[in-house]
A = this chain, B = another copy of it.
Amino acid sequence: MKARDIAELVGGELRGDGDIEIDSVADLLTATYAQIAFVEKPNTEITTDASCLFVPPGFDTSSIPLKNLVIVTNPKLAFVRVAGILHPLKYRSAEIHPSAVVSDSATLEDDVFVGAFTCIGEESAIGEGTQIRAGAKIGDGVTVGRNCVIHPNVFIEDGCSIGDNVVLHAGVVIGADGFGYVKDESGEYNKFPQIGTVVIEDNVEIGANTCVDRGALGETRIGAGTKIDNLVQIGHNVRIGKRCVIAAQTGISGSTVIEDDCVIGGQVGFGDHAHVKSGAIIGSQAGVLPGKIVRPGVWWGTPIQPLDEYKRQNAHVKGLERLKAEVKELKKKLADG
């Protein structure tokens, strides 16, 4: 890709040599000949051997007078777009590996890759361009949309539904039974029916070894464009909206609702039936009590508080030693007085 074409693609302004060929992306420090990197802020001092750079408007070019630059409002986003072209997803050509166990009643559209040691169950359907990588197991009555990548050793239980352009990383488990029991007279736990399903909408990405339980009676749903990190637990009947981001090791208990455009840190815990309103941001390791309604804003701590309250409270706690000393002083004064 020529620098000129890159500039045009991202709607940026080219400085320098438009004919230079760029074959890959890299970060500033390691980038070298034929690579493009990016600078996020105008006043960054940099040294780089990259052949071309995305820079923001107002970037001080004096520090690197000889560079080829593409000036663009959001250099990181421009970088992402060009990376998507220069480093496309690994293509695996249409193939059904001889070892794969594909039910006769399953339907596969064109251009589907089905790797070694995979299973595709009865009445399941796999959309065009989708890759089912080695060792993935797809149950009965499962729908997987188009252009998905189902990575090795993923398991999708019977009846679940996966949209288009979904990526499930290795070891993901979709649709295992939720965790619900009722105690009987003898104190034994009896399993509440876990006969619902999971719906994963388009453009969702789910990290390695994450679990999404099926609904007990209804469905568990992950909204379009939502991104979920590794080792996350999503309980039965949870509903997550569109364009949410959920970092690693967070756990979401049954029936909790997270509306659109929320950002959830890592290792956050949600009690059941919590309800997070659209646009809320919850910091890492926070704890949300069962049934809690979380309004838009930034939240922190266990149990969660607005971030500024949390900070103020933390400051008060840190000031306790001094407060204690002051009270002691007062007591002394009063006794002396």
Contact = CB atoms under 8 A, between A and B. Distances in A.
Copies in the complex: 3
A284 interface: yes
A169 B177 CA distance: 8
A65 interface: no
Contacts of A83: 192-193, 195
User: At the interface, is chain A mostly helix, strand, loop or mixed?
Assistant: loop
Interface string A28-60: 001000000000000000000000000000000
A114 interface: no
Contact of A323 (B176, B217, B323): B323
A188 to B, nearest CB: 5
A261 B206 CA distance: 33
Interface string A254-285: 00000001000011010100000000000011
Contacts of A158: 90
Interface residues of A, number: 100
A38 to B, nearest CB: 10
A327 B330 CA distance: 9
Given A229-B179, A261-B187, A248 B248 contact: no
A176 B208 contact: yes
B182 A80 contact: yes
Interface of A: 25-27, 30, 74, 76-77, 79-81, 83-84, 87, 90, 97, 99, 101, 115-117, 119, 133-135, 137, 151-153, 155, 157-158, 167, 169-171, 173, 176-177, 179, 181-184, 187-193, 195, 203, 205, 207-209, 211, 213, 217-218, 225, 227, 229-231, 233, 235, 243, 245, 247-249, 251, 253, 261, 266-267, 269, 271, 284-285, 287, 302, 312-313, 316-321, 323-324, 326-327, 330-331, 333-334, 337
